[in-house]
């Protein structure tokens, strides 16, 4: 088990609603990345935060936004939920930029949009 935790574990929302997912990083890590994983697919990079600033983003619309706090925990916010947003959302923390270091993943939040 890594030291990365995510909440909630499962979540059911209806189309059009907004959702906030939370992640606590591994101790000592200042970088957090968020991924969306649809069933049977690999994780898709949403964005990365380094020392409270977004410093990398994948091909996701602006209704996907995030925050990183001074203690390096993080939130992923999704507005105007769509059915295709149903997926496993994973956060991962790392020491410095995700591409250069191994990432420690949390167990994920399973989001279902109906």
Partner 1 sequence: SQQGEEDPQALSIQEGENATMNCSYKTSINNLQWYRQNSGRGLVHLILIRSNEREKHSGRLRVTLDTSKKSSSLLITASRAADTASYFCAISYNNNDMRFGAGTRLTVKP
Q: How far is the CB of 89 from partner 1 (least distance, A)?
A: 11
Q: How far is the CB of 80 from partner 1 (least distance, A)?
A: 25
Q: Closest by alpha carbon to 98, among 60, 46, 59?
A: 46
Contact 42, 87 (CB under 8 A): no
Looking from the CA of 102 toward its CB, the CA atoms found within 13 Å total 3
Q: Pick between residue 11 and residue 88 the one whose CB is nearest to partner 1.
A: 88
Write down the number of H helices and E strands in the chain. 0, 11
The gap from C-alpha 101 to its chain's centroid, in whole angstroms, comes to 18
The encoded tokens of residue 102 equal 């191994």
Q: Pick between residue 84 and residue 102 the one whose CB is nearest to partner 1.
A: 102
Binding site for partner 1 (CB under 8 A): 2, 4, 33, 35, 37, 39-45, 48, 50, 55-56, 58, 88, 90, 92, 96-108, 110
Q: Pick between residue 25 and residue 48 the one whose CB is nearest to partner 1.
A: 48
Q: Pick between residue 4 and residue 113 the one whose CB is nearest to partner 1.
A: 4
């Amino acid at each position: 088990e890594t030291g990365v935790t995510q909440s909630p574990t499962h979540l059911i929302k209806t189309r059009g609603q907004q959702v906030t997912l939370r992640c606590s990083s591994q101790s000592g890590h200042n970088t957090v990345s968020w991924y969306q994983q649809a069933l049977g697919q690999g994780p898709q990079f949403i964005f990365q935060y380094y020392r409270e600033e977004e410093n990398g983003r994948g091909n996701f619309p602006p209704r996907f936004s995030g925050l990183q706090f001074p203690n390096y925990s993080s939130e992923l916010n999704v507005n105007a939920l769509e059915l295709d947003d149903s997926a496993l959302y994973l956060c991962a923390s790392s020491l410095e930029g995700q591409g250069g270091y191994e990432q420690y993943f949390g167990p994920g939040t399973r989001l279902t949009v109906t």
